[in-house]
Structures are given as structure tokens and as C-alpha cells.
Amino acid sequence: MENFDAIIVGGGHAGCESALALARLGKKTLLLTISLDAIGFLPCNPSIGGTAKGHLVCEIDALGGEMGIIADKSAIQIRMLNRGKGPAVYSLRAQVDKQLYHNNMKRVLEENELITIKQAEVEEILAEDNKIVGIKTAQGETYFAKAIVICSGVYLKSKIIIGEYSKESGPNGFLRAEKLSDSLKKLGIELRRFKTGTPARMNGRTIDFSKLVVQHGEDGIQTFSFMTETQPKNIKDCYLTYTNEKTHEIIRKNLSRAPMYSGIIKGIGPRYCPSIEDKIVRFQDKTRHQIFLEPEGLYTNEIYIQGVSTSLPVDVQKQMYASIEGLKHAQIMRDAYAIEYDLIDSTTLYPSLMHKKISGLFFAGQINGTSGYEEAAAQGIIAGINASRYIDQKQPLILKRNEAYIGVLIDDLVTKGTNEPYRMMTSRAEYRLHLRQDNADKRLTPIGREIGLVSDERWQKFQEKQQEIAKIYEILNEKIKVDQLKDLYIEKNESVPTTSQTIKKILKRPNIDIFDINNKFHCFDNFSKRALEYVNTEVKFEGYLQQEEEDIENFKKQENMIIPNGIDFKSLKGLRIEAQQKLDKIRPTSIGQASRISGVSPADVTILMMYIKSMR
């Protein structure tokens, strides 16, 4: 028997961030994983970031997390998505070397003196009087702790499915967790069943890349971590191809053999990352679907076939993949498969990610119904922070929807819940012009510093950047004479002004950015590209940001109207029965959260507000 402050169950992306947050906040932490080889492993796509996911990684980094640092170190290609849609939705995405990412993350955990790592399967969660006391492993060891964070990913009684073949296994051939589901049920926690999937991996030596469209990386762009000083190198290319009518016909002819249509798969799959057979059924008008070929690493020929996730039988997979341009003679190294797994209902959690009925028991990652490494890591760092604060008897850190994508993610999970694997998207955020990647440090690093997670080195870099930005704003007030502006305005197809202009006013011209101004007048030569890009966006979108700020102030009024603990919602007169039931289940902490619960109407919210005011 050994005592710890906290125990992390699972070594995936949620578990890694959770363990590091706890240790960096001074807590003696035990990380239990079913396999040491699964620590920080990427069992699906070999990439970090992407639409909205890049925002999450930058926010994790700004708080003092690790994912962004490791992604930058392990990147073999980096690109910025959504270039044509404006800076609010610019999303960084990196192809990473899978093995290198795992090695880098594992080493960071191993070198932290407050983290003990043990390969073991957790058999039982130990609780007394609805309060966590420890865990018991399948190997017979018992560990005691004040807080536990469950980050079990897709391992709970998971099952791999390929056609009629199924195997009780975790992803990528790892062992599954056999006993933990039963222990959670004994604690009164209801479990559900979801499904996700992954495409085939092919031998790059057998792919005809000459028939594919190459996609190069971008140089000189933002990195995930605000601590990264050396720009990742674009070492590998990705490639683009498409399905075709022959591919679709092969799938349609074999739908009766597809597990998701034959009834073999019981779990609910992801709407926003569907299998190829689901795409063919749902989007019958489409004659082709995009496929991205992504390298799995520097020292392997394995290529990930992004966009063709499937659980069709292997003989159908061979026909289907061979029908795609460039893949006619490609050898499948790993068959595509679907995976089913147990998870909890996320509405049974507080916004701190602690369970409402069992004190000290936190949940983070895919066990809460999300999909993706980034969503898992975002929950992991918050669960770790709040487990530490629970141990110290401090108020939890709750990020609001206007403060971070992480706040949107967790609020959606605990307030609305999810009936399918949840994926973060920019459209879920109401204030996305304020929640950009480039300002994640301004929004969250002071918070991370206040709670003790941001290191002195990170804090110094943050302050230096803010000082740099302040100096840039001072220069923006300087004026440039008309005769000096003429060439720049003509070159950028802007009408030439008749009077001198401040640099800020010049910057507001749609065709001129801060780098154009610097190339002409060299007034910003001594400033970093990251600081200049930030100011460029802030100035150009100043009016929109002010409008959004007004909306945020109205949002804050409802968020700041706190609902006292212990209210008996079922006894409030005037509330509809559905609203009473939903409010009693979710137990919202503010009027704002109550207003976002499905089944609670504006009239119900008004009654609740009147009751709270009368209590005051």
C-alpha cells in the first residue's frame, strides 16, 4: 500500500496533461496505464491540431500544459488551415512523427520527480461515504489518494470490429480495460456505448504518388507553443486524392456486410468524422470524397489514409482502396477497423469535471464522450488543475465560454451532454474573434500563473511579448506624410489619401497589412513576427471586436448571476416539469448555464431569476 495525493488512470493525452498539471502544482501523483507504450500515443491520425483543435492546443499551452511543446518538437509538417476564412478560424495543424511524440511525452513524465508511472490495470475505484480513497489494481496492489482522474480513453471493455470479425481489444492491438467498467457501475455511475474508427495504413513504397496532388507544409508560421523558438521543419509532404463512383459502388454492394448496418456495431458513431460507408449513404449526391495521405513518421513507410475510416470486411477493404487513384497496387499494412467502448454521461459532472455524487472523482477525455487528442488533453489539464485545487480545498478553475474554447468544450459537455462523439468546431464558440490562437496566451497565461501552473520562464516570455505589443501600439500613432505613402497605396490598389496618415489608419486599409508597412518604412524591424501578427489582427478587426465585447458583457451578466447550492428545483412554482427535471439533473451553477440546458425555456429562466432575486 502506498499513499499519493492523486492517481491518474490512463496515459493517453488526457492522462498526460492531468498528471503533469498535478505534479507541477506540487502534488505527488501516480500515473497508471495499461501499457507504457500507450503513453501519449496517437492510435488514429498522425497529427495534432486542425480546425478548432489548434485553438485548444494553443490554450493548453498558454495555461502551462505540454501538448503544444511536444507537437512542435515532433512535427514533420506544419500548415495553417482556413486561410481564406479570416483569423478567427485560422487553425494550425501539424503532421507529427507518432513514435517521436510518444517518446518525447513519456520522457517529460518520467523526468518529473513527483510523478510515479506504473504499468497496471485498474480493477476497482475505492470510495467511502461517496468520497474517493484510492484504487485497487488487477494485479492486487492498492494505492490510496485524495483524488482520482479517470482518463481511460476508448479502453473500457473496448471491442475491435472488422466485418464479421471482432476482438476484445484496445486500439492498435493494446490490451483493453476489463474491470474498470464494472467498478464504475458499482459506484452508481451509468455507462453508455460509443463507436469510433480508423482507416487503413498502407506501405508508402507501393503507392503511386505521381498520380496524387502534393500538399507541402508552410514555413515561417505560428507554432503551437508560445515557448517554441525554433520553427519546426517541413520534412514530409502529404498528398490528396479522391474516391470515385467505382469506390462508391463497391461500398454500396457490400453495405449488408458493413457492421454498422448489419447490427454488429451497437455504439453511436461520430457525426463529424464518419466512416466512408456512412458518407456514401448520407451524401448520395456526392460523386467523390477527399482523401489525405499522411506519413506516420520519419522512420516508417506507413501512410495513414485520412478520410476512409471503415469497418468493412478485409476483402472489401482491398477492393475499395484499390479503386482509388494512386492506390491501385498499394499494400495494406494495417486493416481499418471500428472500435466500441464504454463511457459515462458527461452531464453527471460539475464544470470542474468532478463527479456530482462522488467527491474527488474526476473524469477527462473520451470517457466523457469526446473524440480527438486535443479535446482529451484540454479536459485533462482542467481535471488535473481542479483535482489539485480540490485537494487544497480551493475553488475550482472554471473557464467560461467567452474566455476559451476549453470553456466552450466543457460547458457543452456538462450542460448539454452529447449523444455522439463530440468534436470541437469553431462554430460552437459564440465569441470566436476573441478566442483566436494568436491571443491564447493573453487570455489564459495570467490565469495559469495565478493558479501556479505557469513557470517563471513562460511568464517572463509572456511579459516580454506584452511589452513588445505595447511598443508596437505606440508606433501606430506616428504619422507618415502623403508623398511617402503614394507608392504603397498605388501598389496595393488603395486610393491615395490627401493628408498625412497615422500608421494605425493605414493599417485599417483592407489591402495593406503591418508587414507591407514595415517592408516600406522599416518601423517594425525590431519586433517579432508573432507580436506583429497579433497587432495586425487586433487593429484590422477593431470594430468587430468591440461589437463582440458588448455581447460578452451581456453574457457575463447571466454568468455572474450565481444559483445557490441546494436549491430544490422540483419545488419551484411556475417551472415546467421538464425544466424541473433537467435543472435537477444538471444542477447549473449560474443563470447562464441554466439557459443553455436543452429543455429549459426562456420563461423557465425568467422564473428562476425572479426566485434568486427574491432570495437575495
Mean pLDDT (whole number) for 394-415: 97
Q: What is residue 382's predicted lDDT score, i.e. its pLDDT?
A: 98
How much is the mean pLDDT over the chain? Answer: 94
pLDDT in tens, 45-101: 999 999 999 999 999 999 999 999 999 999 999 999 988 888 889 999 999 999 999
d(CA 381, CA 519): 41
Residue 267 pLDDT level (bands cut at 50, 70, 90): confident
pLDDT digits (tens, 9 = 90+) for 3-48: 999 999 999 999 999 999 999 999 999 999 999 999 999 999 999 9
207-259 pLDDT per residue, tens: 999 999 999 999 989 999 999 998 999 999 999 999 999 999 999 999 999 88
Question: Cell match 499494412: residue?
Answer: 333
Q: Are 40 and 99 in contact (CB under 8 A)?
A: no
Q: Which DSSP letter does residue 192 get?
A: E
| Residue at grid coordinates 507553443 | 225
- Is residue 548 a contact partner of residue 434, using CB atoms and an 8 Å limit? yes
Tell me the three state secondary structure of residue 252: helix
Under 8 Å between Cβ of 7 and 143: yes
Contacts of residue 534, defined as CB under 8 A and 6 or more positions apart, other chains included, come to 438, 439, 442, 469
Q: What is the dihedral of CA 9, 15, 16, 17, to 10 degrees?
A: -140
pLDDT digits (tens, 9 = 90+) for 495-522: 888 899 999 999 999 999 999 999 999 9
* Residue 270 predicted with pLDDT over 80: no
Q: pLDDT category, 274, cuts 50, 70, 90?
A: confident
Mean pLDDT of 118-124: 97
Decide if 186 contacts 176 (C-beta within 8 A): no
Q: Which residues contact 151 (CB under 8 A, 6 or more apart)?
A: 8, 9, 10, 11, 12, 14, 15, 18, 363, 364, 365, 367, 376, 380, 383
Q: Which residue matches cell numbers 512523427?
A: 97
Query: Is 124 within 8 Å of 136 (Cβ atoms)?
Result: yes
Residues 402 and 520: beta-carbon distance below 8 Å: no
How many angstroms from the chain centroid is the CA of residue 542? 28
Domain ranges in the chain with CATH number 2.40.30.260: 201-340
Grid cell at residue 26:
506540487
Q: Which pLDDT does position 376 carry in this prediction? A: 98
Report the distance separating Cα 534 and Cα 468, nearest Å: 11
What CA–CA distances, in Å, run from 51 to 63, 79, 232, 437?
A: 20, 11, 19, 11
Q: Which residues contact 107 (CB under 8 A, 6 or more apart)?
A: none
Q: Assess whether pLDDT exceeds 80 at residue 303.
A: yes
598 CB-contact burial (10 Å; exposed 0-12 / middle 13-18 / buried 19+): exposed
Dist CA 126 CA 361 (whole Å):
10
Q: Which residues contact 232 (CB under 8 A, 6 or more apart)?
A: 72, 73, 75, 76, 78, 94, 223
Please state which CATH number belongs to domain 561-615: 1.10.150.570
Residue 564 banded pLDDT, cuts 50, 70, 90: confident
Listed in sequence order, the residues at least 6 apart from 424 whose beta carbon sits closer than 8 Å to its beta carbon are: 52, 53, 55, 56, 370, 372, 374, 375, 378, 405, 408, 409
Domain range 201-340, CATH class: mainly beta
Digit-coded pLDDT (tens) for 463-488: 999 999 999 999 999 999 988 888 88
Within a 13 Å sphere around the CA of 298, how many CA atoms are in the beta-carbon half? 12
Q: Where in the chain is the domain with CATH 1.10.150.570?
A: 561-615
Residue 265: pLDDT above 80? no
59: nearest Cα among 375, 393, 343, 500:
375
Question: What distance in Å separates the CA atoms of residue 512 and residue 201, rounded to the nearest whole number?
Answer: 45
**Residue % of the chain over a pLDDT of 90:** 82
The whole-number average pLDDT for the span 452-459 is 97
Locate cell 455524487: which residue?
357
Q: What DSSP state is assigned to residue 526?
A: T
**For 163, which DSSP code?**
T
Angle ∠(67,69,74) on CA atoms, nearest 5: 90
| Cα distances (Å, whole numbers) of residue 198 to 44, 95, 165, 208, 267 | 6, 16, 16, 22, 15
**Distance between CA atoms of residues 2 and 570, nearest Å:** 44
Q: What is the pTM of this model?
A: 0.95
C-alpha grid cell, residue 27: 502534488
CATH architecture of 467-546: Orthogonal Bundle (1.10)
pLDDT at 262: 75
Q: Is the dihedral of CA 435, 441, 446, 451 positive or negative?
A: positive
How is 75-99 classified by DSSP, letter by letter?
Answer: EEEEEEE-GGG-GGG-EEEEEE-HH
The whole-number pLDDT of residue 388 equals 98
Residue 268 has pLDDT above 80, yes or no: no
Q: Residues spanned by CATH 1.10.10.1800 within the chain?
A: 467-546
**Grid cell listed for 80:** 495553417
Rg value, the chain, Cα = 26
Let me know how many helices (H) and strands (E) the chain has, helices first: 21, 24
Q: Are 69 and 112 in contact (CB under 8 A)?
A: no
The set of residues, in sequence order, having a beta carbon less than 8 Å from that of 132 and lying 6+ positions away, is 125, 126, 145, 146, 147, 148, 358, 359, 360, 361
The whole-number average pLDDT for the span 332-361 is: 97
